[in-house]
Chain A
Amino acid sequence: MARNKETLILLIDVGPSMHSVLPEVENVCSMLVQKKLIFGKTHEVAVVLFGTEDTHNDLEKEVGGYEHVVVLREIGVVDGDLVELLQNLPRGTSPGDFLDAIVVGIDMLLKKSPSGKQKKCLYLITDAKCSTKDPFEGTKEDQVWVYKKTSEEKFPTLKKYSDKAHPSANYATHEVKVGIEYKSTKDPDKFVPPEQRIKGYSYGPQVIPISSAEWDAVKFKPEKGVKLLGFTDASNILRHYYMKDVYIFIPEPGNAKATVAVSAIARGMKEMNKCAILRCVWRQGQGNVVIGLLTPNLSSVDNIPDSFYFNVLPFAEDVREFQFPSFSNFPSCQPDEQQQEVADDLVRMLDLAPSDTKEVLQADFTANPVLERFYRFLDLKSKNPEVDVPQLDRRLKRIAEPDPETFSRHKPIIDNFQKQFELKENPKKKKLTRRAWREKASASNEEEVGVNDGVPEVHSASLVKCSTSAKVEKVSDLNPVQDFEAMMARRDSSKWTRKAIKDMQDYIIDLLENSFDGNSYPKAIECLIALRKGCILEQEPKEFNQFLINMYKKWNTSDLADFLGLLPSKNITLISKSEAADSDLTEEEARNFPVKLEDSFE
C-alpha cells in the first residue's frame, strides 16, 4: 500500500483537569509515533501543548495573545526522540483554551508546509481517544473510486538475523538470505537447472505438467470492469456470507453528478431494503472474477458524500452444506422456562452498548493488543536489549477479558445463571482438556476476588522469570530448558538433580495436557530432548525411561498419540546401556521400544 506523506500536529491539553488522564495520553501519543516509525517513516509530526504555565509560539510573538500555548516540537520527520518527548509531557497549571491551540496549529501548517499535496491533520486531545488514519491507494472506476475499507494490519514481518559476521565488522548487515535448490528426487546430488523445470498441477492423485506459456494461453481471462447483475432483497444475503475485507465505493471527488447518482441509488436501496450484486474484475489480466454485494452507506455528516460498501460473496464451491440437527431435536438439552429467563437477563444486562452511554469496544476505536504490545516492546528494547516482554496494561486487558466492573455489577445475574444451569464432566470421557477446563474456572474465580479487593491482578508469567545469575530453584515457563540445565548443574546438594528431573517431567506433562492443536509440541520436544540429555549426563537413565514408557501407556490412544508419533523422528528413544551404564536395555531394545509397545496396544 502506498502511503503518502502526512503532516500531523498533536494539540495536547495538559491543564490541571487533564492530569489524571495524562499518563494515558502519553501512552497513546507515543504509540502513535512509534507506529509511524514503523509504517510511516517520512511522516512529519509537531507537538503543541496548551494549558501550560509558559507561552511559546510564533503567533504570540507576531500578534500577541495566544497565551499558555507552547510549541513543544516544530514540524519535523518522526524520530525516536519524539517518542521520549511524548512519554514525559509536562503538567500544566492553567486551563487550556483549545481554540487558541487550533489557531496556532493551523498557522504552523500554513507556514511550514504550504504545498497542498500531502495530508494534513490536527489531532486535538482532550481525552484518551485518538484514532490513527492512513491515506490509501485506490483505483478509479468510471465515476466511482474504490478503496479498501478494512484491511488487516498484519504483525510486521521480522527479518532473520545472522550472527556469523565478526562482531567488530561494522559493515555487516546481519541479514539472512534463503537459498533454494531444486534437486532430483532420484539423485540427490543432481541439480536441475531452471530451464529443465516445469510446473505440475495436481488433479486428484495425478500431477499434470504444463508450461507457463501453455497455461497462459488457456487460462481464464476476464475483461476488467464492474458489472451490475441486479438488485435483491437484503434479507437474501446473510451476514456470515461476507468473505473478506471490505471495499468502499465512493463517488469521484468534485463530480457532483456522480455524487448525486450514488446518493439516489444508495437511498433508494436503503428505503426498499435492497442490496446490489456486482461482478468485479479489478485489474486487466487478473485471473478470476469476484462476486460481491453492494450495501448503502448513507453519510450522516454533511460534507461527506453517500457511498457503498462492497463485500465479497462466496461461490458455490466455497460453501459446504453440512447438515446439523435442529435444536428442537434434543429434548434433553432444551432450557426450561426459568433457565431461558436467566439467559435473557444475561444477554440483556451484560450490555456493551447501553443506550445512555457510549458503546464499549467499538471496532473503530479498539486497537490491536498484539501490535500495541509489539510496538511497546520494540521501543523498550531499543533502549534496553535485555528487557522482558511488557505485561498487558489495563486498557489492553479490557479487550481480551471481560470488564470486572460490569461483571461484578451484575453479579446476582451471573450467580443466578450459574445456579440455574448445571455443568458436569462426562464421566465416560477421560480427556485432557478437562484439566484445563477446571483450572480455567478456578483462575477466573480468583480474578473475581482480586477485583473485589481492588488489587490489580498481576500477570504471573513475567514475574516467575529467574535471572540466570541467581541460583535456579525451579523450572519456569519462560526458560524451562535453561532452568533445568542450571538446576542439574547445581552441586550444592544432590536433591537438585532429583527436583530438576521431577520438575521437568511435570512441566512436560503440563505442556502437553494443555496443548491446543499441538501448539506446545515444539516446546515439549525441546524439553524432552533436554531431559534425555540431562538423564544421560547425570546417570539417571531409569528416570527417563520410566517416564517415557508411562507417557506411551497414558497417551497411546488419546489425542496426544500424534505427539508420541513424532518422538522417533526426533531421536527421542529410551536410553540404552551404551549411553548410560545404569540402563538395562540394549541398544536395539531401546530403539524398537515404541513400535513394540504400539503393537501390543493395537
Chain B
Amino acid sequence: MDLDPEGIFRDDSDSDNELYEEKEPTKDLAVYLIDASPKMFESITAHGDEVEETYFDIAINCITQSLKTQIIGRSYDEVALCFFNTKEKKNLQDLSGVYVYNVMEREAFDRPTAMLIKEFSSIKDTFMSKIGSHYGVLPGSRENSLYNALWVAQALLRKGSVRTCSKRILIFTNEDDPFRNMTGAIKADMIRTTVQRAKDAQDLGISIELLPLSRPDENFNISVFYADVIGLEGDEISEFLPTASEKLEDMKDQLRKRIFKKRKVRTLLFSIANGITIEVNTYCLIRPTLPGSTMWLDSVTNVPLKIERSLICADTGALIQEPPKLFHTYKNQKILFSMDQISEIKNISDSHLRLLGFKPLDCLKDYHNLRPSTFIFPTDEEIIGSTRIFVALYQSMLCLKRFALAFYGRSSNPRLVALVAQDELISSSGQIEPPGMHMIYLPYSDDIREVEELHITAGATAPRATDDQIKKASALIKRIDLKDFSVLQFANPALQRHYGILQALALGEDEMLDIKDETLPDEEGLARSTVVHLLEEFKTAVYGENHDQEEADALTLKASNSEASRKRQKLTENATKECAKYDWNDLAESGQLKNLTVLDLKFYLTAHDLPMTGKKEVLINRILSHLGK
C-alpha cells in the first residue's frame, strides 16, 4: 500500500520511509464506560450566560474528539462504547443498568466508523428517550450497575490476545462514592465484590483507568472508593490528580490527554561507560500524521485489487525467483553486492545507544536537524537502577546546560544523536512537557551544505544593518508579536480537508463542512495602522524614500532590455507564425490534434503563453480547454 500516492505530503524532499517504520507494536482495545446517572446530567457551567454544559456533555465531547483523532491516526485500534446507570439495558449478558452503544454495520467492539462518530457526537438529543438515566445502586435492591458494567467490559475484552493487544477499561464518572446510598453490610459487600471484579479483570491483563470529572467546588476524592478499583497505593493516590482544574477547558484538556494510550516504540540499552548500561524506552511524541493509506479498487465492483509484483530480467524477459544480488555502476563496471554485505557495511556499532561525551547546549545549532526527535524515558523493568542513573545524568545536564552526544546504532541507519534533557513543564491543564531526554538526529558533514559560500561577495564585504535600522526592525518585531504561540495551535489544513472529504463521502453527505485554514496570517491585525506605520518606517530606513518607484522602473527596464526577454519575444513571434499554419479549431473539432507532433503543439502553447509541461495527451487537453472545447 502506498502511504502518500499523490505526493502531497512530500513537499520538497522525498518522504522518509524509514521514519514510518517505527510503528508502534500493539493495537489498543478500549472499552469506554460512561456513567449516565442523573448526577452526570447536572450542569457544570459556572456563569449563567454561557451555553449550559453538563458532565455528560463533556465526557461525550472528549470521547468524540478522541475518536476523531483515532480514525485519522490509529484506525486499527478498536473501541466499545458502553453506558452504565441507564434505564434501558443492552448487553449480551443481559445485565441491568448497562447499555452497549453501537451503530449499523459495526460490531459492538470494532474500529470506529464515520457513522459511529457522527451518531455518538449527537447522542445527547436522543439519550433520554432511547436509553435513559437511572441510579443503578439503590437501597432495597441488590443491583450493582458498576459491577455489571465491569463485567460487560471484561466480557467484551475477551477479544484479542494480551500479547498483541493492550486492553483497557476507561471509566468516566463524577461520582467518587458510587455506593453512598447504601449502608452497613450490604455496602461493604458491594464494595468488596466490585473491587474483586476489577482485580479479576486486571489479572487478565486489562488495565482499568479512571477519568474523573470533578466539580469546581469539590474535588473528586479518589480514596473513597476508586483507588482500590484501579489499584493505586500509598503515594500514587496523592499523585493521581495533579491539580484541581479550575477552568472547564483545563478539565477537558486533562481528560483528552488521559484517553490516549502511551505507546513505547522500543526498549534500548544505553551504554554509558565501562560496562555501565541502563535501560530506556523510546516514544514518538512528534511524528508527521499522514493521510491514511490508499489502495486500488476495481471501479465496477469497488473491491480491492491484488497487486502482484514480479522481477523480470531486462535482457531475457525471464522471471527471477530468488532475491537478486544488487549492483552499483562505478568506473563503468557493475560492482555486485550481496544483501549480507550491505547489512555488514551498515553495521557500525554493536550497541543500541552509546554515550560518547557531553557538549554545551550552544554547540547544537539550529541547522543540526534532519528528522523528528524521539523521546526517551528510563525504565527499571529489566535493569534495576536504570532510572536512578538516568535521573542523575538528566539533572546534571539540565543544571550544567549540556547535552550528551551519543551514537544510535540502528541497523538501517546508524546516526550520531544529541540527547537534550527536557525539564518537566506543567500548566493548569496538566503536564505540557514531560521530563526526560529528547534524541535529536544529527546530520553528518555529507548532509550539510555550505550554501552561504555561494553568496560570498568576492572582495567586498556584505552590507550589514546599521543600529538605527536594527532599532526600526525591533520596533516592528515587537508590534507583530504572537504572545502565547504554541506548536499545538494549528491543525494541518491539508489533512483536515482530506478527512473532511472522506467523512462526507463515507456518510453519503453532499455538503462538506467548510474547513478553516488556521494557518493563514491575521490580515486584519497586520493591517492595523500602527503596524503599517512601523513597516513603512522600516522600509524607508532600509530601502530609502523612493524605493517603490525605483523598483517599478527597474522592472520595466529589465523587461524591455534583458537578453532573455528579447529571446522570449522572438520565440513567441516565431511560434505565432508557425501555428498560423494550422486551423486549430478545425483540428480540434475533428479530433486530429493527436496527429500533430509535440513540437507543433508547443508552438500553439508558446504563442498563447500557456504552460508547456506534460505529456502529449496533457498538451492536447490544454489546447482543447484553451479553445473552449
Contacts and interface: CB of A to CB of B under 8 A. Distances in A.
A110 to B, nearest CB: 14
Interface stretch (B37-45, B121-129, B497-505): B497-505
B499 to A, nearest CB: 7
B455 to A, nearest CB: 5
Contact of B300 (A153, A196, A274): A196
B50 interface: no
B447 A161 contact: no
Interface string A392-406: 100010011111001
B522 to A, nearest CB: 7
B335 A351 contact: no
A161 B323 CA distance: 10
B457 A253 contact: yes
A242 B373 CA distance: 8
Contacts of B453: 133, 304
Interface stretch (B70-78, B83-91, B138-146, B586-594): B70-78
A195 B476 CA distance: 56
Given A245-B13, A318-B286, 10 more contacts: A162-B324, A164-B320, A174-B314, A196-B299, A199-B5, A279-B519, A311-B366, A339-B392, A365-B445, A370-B345
A219 B8 contact: yes
Contacts of B310: 178-179, 181
Interface of A is mostly: mixed
B396 A444 contact: no
Given A37-B331, A165-B313, A205 B348 contact: no
Nearest to B389: A421
B382 A434 contact: yes
A238 B411 CA distance: 29
Interface in B435-467: 435-436, 438, 440, 442-465
Contacts of B239: 325-326, 329
Given A150-B447, A159-B326, A516-B352, A248 B367 contact: yes
B311 interface: yes
Interface residues of B, number: 227
Nearest to B78: A205
Contact of B446 (A153, A229, A319): A153
A304 to B, nearest CB: 5
B188 to A, nearest CB: 32
A340 B469 CA distance: 48
B470 A264 contact: yes
Nearest to A244: B371
Contacts of B544: 257
A242 B369 contact: yes
Contact of A180 (B113, B308, B393, B520): B308
Given A158-B337, A240-B286, A277-B485, A257 B542 contact: yes
Contacts of A581: none
Interface string A564-596: 000000000000000000000000000000000
Contacts of A192: 298, 305
Nearest to B356: A402
Given A227-B521, A418-B274, A186 B303 contact: yes
> Which interface residue of B269, B365, B444, B522 has the most chain A CB atoms within 10 A?
B444
A106 to B, nearest CB: 13
Nearest to B542: A261
A220 B357 contact: no
A277 to B, nearest CB: 6
B493 A289 contact: yes
A400 B348 contact: yes
29 contacts: A38-B330, A147-B451, A161-B336, A177-B312, A183-B308, A196-B299, A199-B5, A204-B113, A206-B113, A220-B498, A239-B373, A240-B285, A245-B447, A246-B367, A260-B542, A274-B481, A287-B8, A291-B490, A303-B458, A317-B289, A324-B431, A327-B435, A352-B359, A363-B444, A378-B330, A378-B335, A423-B277, A424-B383, A440-B269
Interface stretch (B213-221, B222-230, B244-252, B401-409): B401-409
A377 B335 CA distance: 10
A257 B520 contact: no
B73 A317 contact: yes
Interface size class, chain A: 35 or more
B359 A359 contact: yes
B80 interface: no
A317 B521 contact: no
A347 B5 contact: no
> Which interface residue of B292, B344, B422 has the most chain A CB atoms within 10 A?
B344
Contacts of A156: 328
Interface string B368-412: 111111010110111111111101111111011010110101010
A180 B498 contact: no
B211 interface: no
B348 A369 contact: yes
Contact of B478 (A228, A272, A360): A272
A326 to B, nearest CB: 6
Given A165-B315, A192-B305, A206-B506, A334 B391 contact: yes
A136 B449 contact: yes
Nearest to B469: A264
Given A220-B497, A264-B538, A303-B462, A158 B444 contact: no
Contacts of B163: 557, 561
A363 B328 contact: no
B98 to A, nearest CB: 25
Interface in B301-360: 302-316, 318, 320, 324-331, 333-337, 340-342, 344-346, 348-352, 354-360
A316 B489 contact: yes
Contacts of A313: 487
A319 B257 CA distance: 11
A162 B318 CA distance: 9
Nearest to A400: B349
Nearest to B439: A240
Contacts of B330: 37-38, 378-379, 382
B345 A426 contact: no
Nearest to A306: B464
B517 A149 contact: no
A276 B395 CA distance: 31
Nearest to B408: A400
Contacts of A261: 465, 542-543
Interface string A151-180: 111011011111111000101111111111
B326 to A, nearest CB: 4
A565 to B, nearest CB: 10
Given A361-B356, A401-B407, A241 B315 contact: no
A331 interface: yes
B131 interface: no
A447 B539 CA distance: 63
A289 B331 contact: no
A150 B422 contact: no
Given A165-B313, A279-B519, A440 B303 contact: no
B231 interface: no
A505 B533 CA distance: 80
Interface stretch (A17-25, A59-67, A207-215): A207-215
A351 B369 contact: no
Interface stretch (A85-93, A294-302, A491-499): A294-302
A282 interface: yes
Contacts of B491: 315-317
A440 B464 contact: no
Nearest to A276: B477
A422 interface: yes
B366 A161 contact: no
Q: Give the 5 A-B CB pairs with smallest separation, nearest first.
A: A287-B8, A264-B465, A441-B275, A268-B473, A324-B434
Contacts of B440: 239-240, 242
A245 B547 CA distance: 35
B626 to A, nearest CB: 18
Contacts of A311: 366, 369
B306 A159 contact: no
A237 B337 contact: no
A376 to B, nearest CB: 9
